Amino acid sequence: MANISRRNILKMGVVGAGTLALSSINATAAANEKDVKFDEEWDVVVVGSGFAGLAAGLTTAKKGNRVLILEKMGRIGGNSVINGGAMSLPNNPVQEKQGIKDSKELFMQDCLKAGLGLNHPELLETLAKRGNDAYKFLVEEGVVFDENVVAHFGGHSVPRTLTTKNHSGSGYIHPMVEQFQKIENCELRRRAKFDDFIVNNNGRVVGVAIRENYRFDDNLYSDDLENTSGEKKIIKAKKGVVLASGGFCRDRIYRKLQDPRIPDDVDSTNHAGATAGVLLKAFDLGAYPVQVSWIQFGPWASPDEKGFGMAPLLTQEGMFKFGFAVDVRNGKRFMNELADRKTRADAEFKILKEAPNAYPIAIGYEDSFRLINPDVVKKALSNDKLVGVCQSLDEIASKYGVPLDGLKESVKKYNEGIKAGNDEFGKPVDQLKGELFKENGPYYVIRLSPKPHHTMGGLKINEKAEVLSSKTGKPIEGLYAAGEITGGTHGASRLGSVAITDCIIFGMIAGENI
Amino acid sequence: MANISRRNILKMGVVGAGTLALSSINATAAANEKDVKFDEEWDVVVVGSGFAGLAAGLTTAKKGNRVLILEKMGRIGGNSVINGGAMSLPNNPVQEKQGIKDSKELFMQDCLKAGLGLNHPELLETLAKRGNDAYKFLVEEGVVFDENVVAHFGGHSVPRTLTTKNHSGSGYIHPMVEQFQKIENCELRRRAKFDDFIVNNNGRVVGVAIRENYRFDDNLYSDDLENTSGEKKIIKAKKGVVLASGGFCRDRIYRKLQDPRIPDDVDSTNHAGATAGVLLKAFDLGAYPVQVSWIQFGPWASPDEKGFGMAPLLTQEGMFKFGFAVDVRNGKRFMNELADRKTRADAEFKILKEAPNAYPIAIGYEDSFRLINPDVVKKALSNDKLVGVCQSLDEIASKYGVPLDGLKESVKKYNEGIKAGNDEFGKPVDQLKGELFKENGPYYVIRLSPKPHHTMGGLKINEKAEVLSSKTGKPIEGLYAAGEITGGTHGASRLGSVAITDCIIFGMIAGENI
């Protein structure tokens, strides 16, 4: 039983006795302001420099507040700056120009369907209501949208996804950082790690304990628990603290506590700093833990490259459509390659649980990539660590250790399904218009592994982006949160391209309310 | 959109501004021992008097420790005493007597399948290993098992479920309480409510703050946040505190934060005291929140009676098998009535989300109940608030507002499915051996509503039942937990009859390790 044998990490202590360099780093409760001496004083402190943190920082700075944004990494922008830049907005200006009919209700229905009805309705409604305010805000900050493109992302009833001119999250982050840095008396400080909250006698958050010159170390099993770098400082936040530190897809301990199927050595589509440290400190302060078990995996990723990588570009619109995936142990297909993310990730996990190194493979051929930008395809295919080129099915069989018979049988069965318009796994083969899987190479092969992509759960916030306390059922005074560190907006599963929407809107709202 | 309109509770604060009688009751952090004066001193304090609490209390008391068990309700035994008394144990003595081959591995496989592979392997393995120790312990405490019965519960590969002579959880609770009360220098104190932890400078749990003469009040929206009754006391626990306070199926706030589909007025199969208060205080102390989003619903329950009630007895082995369920809005069937709990509950929730009061109905007839104890059937059918008797389909149609055409069409289609051996919803109609739905009354009708039944998530414990801290990744010194307040053992969904196994084994382990 594979996942019994992986128990070592969970055994006794999650990181095992004696493996921690200094377990007392974070072992304290939030300090009271009367027990500390403040080194600096600001109006607002924002933790995190991605979409949500910058939106909050800019919005509140424009109201005249002195804002300090903390970023623990050496690089600004977390996952946001490596994001694809797609942002869905119902009733957006580009839809209008193109005559696409959309509505807030339709947007909410789409999100609720993906979220299995578990979305917190008041948060979802806030997204639907404030979409165009977010658009206006971003344009004012210098974000340049591609005004001719409104994409139709999976799970959305209509095309409603905008993108920046440069098709990247950096198209938001760079202008926002530039704008923020122009504002007098504000600062974005890198390598500044949040350690804990400072509270007053009424439980109000009045500051943060941080470490400067922090050197994040991905080689540690848990950077949050083990990293002793940096110098301590106590910062006063007169008006409030905004938590915008993102999700925990790269937190080996906390993601595994929610889903023990995730091996420690599995990569994620996220940047290395996406850990649960700030989230857990907020729970420790009494914030409600909400829907933390829901982790979204990308079934289109590969173990043969780091992070999000190039594989998703080739598999999603390529090999998964014009091609298929097989279990290397028998050469058989094992999923509808176009099913939703959860269904496909679960199918891949099932194989990897039975045989931890038997990564399934996606198989395609040159024609498979015809819907994708040729420059992207060229670049991705040239990565021979990621993509295997095989001249024939025999070569795939010998190179990847797949039984040739099974592989041939899969081609036959798949093509019969296309002819009959009825795929054995329910793949919508009508989309292929009778186009069969090619019986001659060359073939392109990519090994597959589900990678943690987005953590749905987190802190409970209200429509004002205030963090609610389990001690009172009311907001924790002085504490706000926005983006992936919060839970509830997306329910069980976030629809593609709603992350930026969520981060910008609730970041903006936090800034408005401080 | 029905669940948007239900947002009122989540709006702004979870309980709304101003509705709380006294929001400061629990608004403090755990107190330091140097700031309090202890009123009493014990070796061990156990919070909760169900299976887990009594197992912990007895085990540690027998080692010579002075034990105080706290029970916030006026009644001892929480959900345990109203439980059906079924306890699954792999390789148990009754299996052996009957020649049933079982294994620890098979037990774990069954649990992992139900748990969608999310079970924490080291906890599951502990259950498998310690089953017969638990059996021995219980027999020593005076629990009388029915030595001729080993039941085959759904989802288990073999019959492995034992039951007490009286077929009730009270068959465990009553002898255990009796034994505990015989032990000198130990006490089980009712109406004693846990409020918070007392810690020392090293973060070790050294006691608890409680209120005596507590009067739980189910009329409050949140008893934990609003109830001001009782007199405060500070209790020292020299060796440790065991949390065994159960799950949160009756916590209107916390269950809704995890699953907003649950209406506030929906009942639960649990006793009224099953709230999240102790759990949230432990999160607030830094315990890891694990898999809190997974709530198991009973799809066989009725809104027309309180608690678990009689409906499950009539529907599960009766109307769901020899009969069916329909959507009252159109008279059509909407689920495989014998699918797993989650599938059926989701199908019922879908209807109730679209039309909050359109409770689906189960329909059967006298023959439907032939597998069930006749005394139970007689008693249940006599409850006319629960069971409607209708002489014909026409009467069902008029009494429950169901379109008659749809109802007739359902009977026709269902019977065609039985003849063809192929049900439209995948109900395993081969089990019915050609027995058709009767076209003539009298019929018995029960309205259905999914009721929260078990909360899978909670505190992370290790194999020693020690609670792990997110601040250190190691056990919180002096703090143990067992039973439904813990998370991970059952993964996404607990298999029937594994709850007692879990509670007794980890309760016993906590007692052994203090």
B450 interaction partners in chain A (CB closer than 8 Å): none
B475: nearest CA in chain A? A13
Nearest CA distance, A199 vs chain B (angstrom): 11
B462 interaction partners in chain A (CB closer than 8 Å): 10-13
**Rounded CA gap, A115 and A77, in Å?**
27
**Rounded CA gap, A22 and A220, in Å?**
12
B473 interaction partners in chain A (CB closer than 8 Å): 13-15, 20, 23, 222, 225, 253
Size of interface A-B (CB pairs under 8 A): 230
Query: What digits encode the pLDDT tens for the residues A88-113?
Result: 999 999 999 999 999 999 999 999 99
State which of A221-235, B22-36, B301-315 shows the largest mean pLDDT: A221-235
The beta-carbon neighbor of B292 closest among A292, A473, A474 is A292
The beta-carbon neighbor of B284 closest among A12, A350, A470 is A470
pLDDT exceeds 60 at position B26: no
**Rounded CA gap, B58 and B510, in Å?**
11
The answer to whether A283 contacts B285, with C-beta atoms less than 8 Å apart, is no
Task: Please check whether residue B2 is in contact with residue B355, taking contact to mean a CB–CB distance below 8 angstroms.
Answer: yes
CATH 3.90.700.10 residue spans of chain A: 300-449
The answer to whether A284 contacts B288, with C-beta atoms less than 8 Å apart, is no
Q: Which of A258, A296, A513 is best to mutate for the B interface (most B CBs within 10 A)?
A: A258
| Confidence label for B476 from pLDDT (cuts 50, 70 and 90) | very high
pLDDT exceeds 70 at position B25: no
Name the DSSP class of B465.
Answer: -
Query: What digits encode the pLDDT tens for the residues B217-248?
Result: 999 999 999 999 999 999 999 999 999 999 99
DSSP H or E segment with residue B212? strand B205-212
A346 interaction partners in chain B (CB closer than 8 Å): 116
Residue A28, pLDDT score: 58
Query: What digits encode the pLDDT tens for the residues A333-344?
Result: 999 998 888 889
Query: What digits encode the pLDDT tens for the residues A449-504?
Result: 999 999 999 999 999 999 999 999 999 999 999 999 999 999 999 998 999 999 99
Residue A119, pLDDT score: 97
The answer to whether A27 contacts B285, with C-beta atoms less than 8 Å apart, is no
CATH 3.50.50.60 residue spans of chain B: 31-298+452-514
Query: What digits encode the pLDDT tens for the residues A47-81?
Result: 999 999 999 999 999 999 999 999 999 999 999 99
Rounded (10°) angle between helices A121-140 and A104-114: 120
Q: What is the mean pLDDT of chain B?
A: 92
The answer to whether A105 contacts B1, with C-beta atoms less than 8 Å apart, is yes
Closest residue by Cα to residue A120 from B457, B259, B209: B259
**Rounded CA gap, B38 and A63, in Å?**
50
Interacting residues of B94 by C-beta distance below 8 A, sequence separation 6+: B145, B147, B148, B149, B150, B162
pLDDT exceeds 50 at position A147: yes
pLDDT exceeds 80 at position A210: yes
| Confidence label for B4 from pLDDT (cuts 50, 70 and 90) | very low
Residue A174, pLDDT score: 98
Pairing of strands A67-70, A40-47: parallel
Pairing of strands A387-390, A361-365: unpaired
**Rounded CA gap, A130 and A508, in Å?**
10
Alpha helices for A355-403 (secondary structure H):
374-381, 393-400
CATH topology of domain A300-449: Flavocytochrome C3; Chain A, domain 1 (3.90.700)
Residue B2, pLDDT score: 34
The answer to whether B118 contacts A261, with C-beta atoms less than 8 Å apart, is yes
| Confidence label for A354 from pLDDT (cuts 50, 70 and 90) | confident
| Confidence label for A265 from pLDDT (cuts 50, 70 and 90) | confident
Query: What digits encode the pLDDT tens for the residues B59-75?
Result: 999 999 999 999 999 99
| Confidence label for A4 from pLDDT (cuts 50, 70 and 90) | very low
Angle, alpha carbons B327-B328-B332 (nearest 5°): 45
Residue A5, pLDDT score: 34
Alpha helices for A210-276 (secondary structure H):
223-226, 252-258
HSE-up (13 A, CA, CB side) for residue A395: 13
Query: What digits encode the pLDDT tens for the residues B187-204?
Result: 999 999 999 999 999 999
The answer to whether B257 contacts A285, with C-beta atoms less than 8 Å apart, is no
Point out the catalytic residue in the list B160, B255, B333, B341: B341
pLDDT exceeds 90 at position B152: no
Angle, alpha carbons B377-B381-B387 (nearest 5°): 135
CATH 3.50.50.60 residue spans of chain A: 32-298+453-514
CA distances from B327 to A172, A216, B5, B401, B407 (A): 48, 56, 22, 10, 9
pLDDT exceeds 90 at position A269: yes
A353 interaction partners in chain B (CB closer than 8 Å): 117
Task: Calculate the CA A252 to chain-centre distance.
Answer: 15
The answer to whether B462 contacts A10, with C-beta atoms less than 8 Å apart, is yes
Domain at A32-298+453-514, CATH from 3.40.50.300, 3.30.1330.20, 3.50.50.60, 3.10.290.20? 3.50.50.60
The beta-carbon neighbor of B13 closest among A261, A290, A473 is A473
**Rounded CA gap, B232 and B37, in Å?**
12
Average pLDDT over residues A148-168: 90
Residue B388, pLDDT score: 96
Task: Please check whether residue B275 is in contact with residue B250, taking contact to mean a CB–CB distance below 8 angstroms.
Answer: yes
The answer to whether A11 contacts B253, with C-beta atoms less than 8 Å apart, is no
Nearest CA distance, B278 vs chain A (angstrom): 11
The beta-carbon neighbor of B474 closest among A6, A23, A457 is A23
Nearest CA distance, A142 vs chain B (angstrom): 32
Nearest CA distance, B459 vs chain A (angstrom): 10
A457: nearest CA in chain B? B293
Residue A64, pLDDT score: 97
B276: nearest CA in chain A? A470
The beta-carbon neighbor of A222 closest among B15, B350, B473 is B473
The answer to whether B283 contacts A283, with C-beta atoms less than 8 Å apart, is yes
A21: nearest CA in chain B? B472
Residue B17, pLDDT score: 37
pLDDT exceeds 60 at position B53: yes
The answer to whether A122 contacts B11, with C-beta atoms less than 8 Å apart, is yes
Exposed e or buried b per residue across B52-76, where buried means at least 16 C-beta atoms within 10 angstroms of its C-beta: bbbbbbbbbbbeebbbbbbbbbeeb
pLDDT exceeds 70 at position B20: no
pLDDT exceeds 90 at position A200: yes
Residue B99, pLDDT score: 96
Nearest CA distance, B351 vs chain A (angstrom): 12
The answer to whether B117 contacts A463, with C-beta atoms less than 8 Å apart, is no
The beta-carbon neighbor of A291 closest among B120, B258, B492 is B258
Residue B13, pLDDT score: 56
* pLDDT higher at A323 or B372: A323
**Rounded CA gap, B247 and B254, in Å?**
11
B254 interaction partners in chain A (CB closer than 8 Å): 288, 470
Average pLDDT over residues A27-42: 88
Q: Which of A350, A466, A472 is best to mutate for the B interface (most B CBs within 10 A)?
A: A472
Query: What digits encode the pLDDT tens for the residues B234-286?
Result: 999 999 999 999 999 999 999 999 999 888 888 899 999 999 999 999 999 99
Question: Residue A496: how many CB atoms within 10 A of its CB?
Answer: 19
B105: nearest CA in chain A? A1
A470 interaction partners in chain B (CB closer than 8 Å): 254, 276, 280, 283-284
Q: Which of B35, B257, B490 is best to mutate for the A interface (most A CBs within 10 A)?
A: B257
B488 interaction partners in chain A (CB closer than 8 Å): 257, 260
Tokens of A171: 């198209």
Please identify every residue of A annotated as catalytic. 341
Q: Is B252 a catalytic residue?
A: no
CATH no. for B31-298+452-514 = 3.50.50.60
**Rounded CA gap, A199 and B413, in Å?**
65
Nearest CA distance, A124 vs chain B (angstrom): 9
Residue A460, pLDDT score: 98
Closest residue by Cα to residue B312 from B304, B322, B302, B303: B302
pLDDT exceeds 50 at position A10: no
**Rounded CA gap, B25 and B240, in Å?**
24
The answer to whether B468 contacts A14, with C-beta atoms less than 8 Å apart, is yes
Average pLDDT over residues A140-167: 91
Nearest CA distance, B3 vs chain A (angstrom): 7
Nearest CA distance, B280 vs chain A (angstrom): 7
A260: nearest CA in chain B? B118
The answer to whether A293 contacts B288, with C-beta atoms less than 8 Å apart, is no
